[in-house]
Amino acid sequence: MKIALAQLNYHIGNFELNTQKIINAVAEAKQQKADLVVFSELAICGYPPLDLLDKQWFIEETGRALNIIQLHCTDIAVVIGAPSINSGENGKRLFNSAYVIDNGIIKKVINKTLLPTYDVFNETRYFESNQKFDTVEINGILIGITICEDIWHEQANSQGYTKVKLYKNNPLDQLAQLNPALILNLSASPYSYYQENRRIDVLQRNAQNYGLPFIYVNQVGVNSDLIFDGASTVVNAKGEIVLQLKSFEEELKIINFDRINKTRPIEYAFDNIVEKNRQAIVFGVREFFNKNGFKKAVLGLSGGLDSALVATLATEALGAENVTGILMPSEYSSDHSVTDALELAKNLGIKHHIIPIKSIFHPFLDALHPVFNNLPFGLTEENLQARIRGTILMAYSNKHGHILLNPSNKSEMAVGYSTMYGDMNGALSVIGDIYKTEVFAMAKLINKHKEIIPTHIITKPPSAELRPDQKDSDSLPDYDILDKILFNFIERQLSANDIVEMGYNPKVVERIIKLVNNSEFKRFQAPPILRVSSKAFGQGRQMPLVAKYE
């Protein structure tokens, strides 16, 4: 039996587009003489549909799309993800399901058992858990069908430090008793920089444990802040990889079931994490714009590294003709910051404008002088400059219909070193899930073969340039230290005592963690952040705004 893995890019709620993509993939699979084509989780409606699942029209449109797809499934079998109605008396009204269509007839509906409710997932909000286990026979082969989390009964915790069992029941144990010859897994597994390793580990261990080949079909694309990388995979009964599809691209590949355990295994080379994150972010920006019908982007060019990196990534994603940089020097900006930003704009080939803010800043100070009571220059005046810049950028965005990109990195987002209604403005946070040390690493990688980001931008001490001779190191520890503390606190979720025991200065650890905890209200109002780590700010890290953290 020839099986096609259809790794497609779906658009949530765009039933016309999704249906046509699926029909085209079925036709291509037929052309390649496939007997079965497998699509990903909730393929028909797109994943994750969130509260659209509560809309009756959304479920009805999914059903209509399924009916249209059925008409094109003659002379082939199809396994495809979509919600189904729970006809029982109890529980949620929907199941997260896999429809088995054989020669145009719905042969069976298999429901998802394990419903994740951690990190970015909250499926128990919408779906009822499956309690009945069954296989399906296609072309004389008995197949067990699982949906995403169903094969993740045991998994590593954050960053893979220890294995934990998240669920009481293991669907694979139930299916194994029915003696299938193959396990399919329809997935919508979002990208993070170590997720690919985890997936391979899960697939390989399950294949070895049950002595069965696994076919894992993941979606590709970006929905909201989640990046889906695809990388659909086939492993044989020994747990060896025999096929893997590309990352961040649509693709359809055929594998012969009779040859899975005889095919020569491939040595899959995992990409450098920095490079993989670069690919993910570029893909994320491009997808965010395409799926929302946006075309042009604007951002502030300060001459600093964060804005330089975002401009570079945006230019790769959207094309130089669609990116505009605005330089807004203050009286505290160094001459080289302006020349660095101009050189970057030239290297990228993007349009730029210069709007000095001194003449705007001082009338603000004059107007506020009576209520400032001669208090010394400080953070208020620094933030005022950032908010003037944010206002200029939003004005340009509104007037010209450009989407404002936010350049804040994860380090400053973590400790609250971003100004609300100033440099936190933007429709999308491009690098808000990579730490400052990772920003340096990505910039150096981009410059590996040709200087795109001026070297001086990378080598000069980071500074907001909002007061004379200001440097980030005036108020924060070196980023090498800061980022390690943040990583252990945020990604690894270690306590202050745990981090101190690793050898870090107790006072520094206490101060950094306090800054993180006290900045929740800022992040609550931040733009959506493209997720590339295991614990991004946003829906995957939900903290109370009013709480005592110590």
Active site residue 148: yes
Q: Which helix (H) or strand (E) holds 269?
A: none
Catalytic residue among 21, 41, 276, 412: 41
d(CA 123, CA 129): 9
Closest CA to 288 of 535, 527, 45: 527
Closest CA to 516 of 430, 413, 420, 434: 413
Could you identify the residue written with the tokens 């993941």?
218
Give Cα separations from 416 to 423, 438, 519 (angstroms).
11, 18, 5
- Which tokens go with 113? 């058992």
3-state secondary structure of 182: strand
Backbone angles phi and psi of 541, in degrees to 5: -140, 90
Catalytic residue among 148, 287, 316, 438: 148
Could you identify the residue written with the tokens 């349009």?
351
d(CA 344, CA 452): 7
Catalytic residue among 21, 112, 436, 535: 112
Beta pairing class for 251-256 and 2-7:
antiparallel
d(CA 81, CA 185): 10
d(CA 304, CA 404): 17
d(CA 30, CA 43): 19
d(CA 447, CA 348): 12
Cβ(214)–Cβ(243) below 8 Å? no
The residues facing 79 across adjacent strands are 38, 100
Cα torsion for 532, 443, 517, 380, to the nearest 10°?
Answer: -140
Cβ(148)–Cβ(41) below 8 Å? yes
Active site residue 112: yes
State the sign of the Cα–Cα–Cα–Cα dihedral 67, 68, 69, 72: positive
The catalytic residue positions are 41, 112, 148
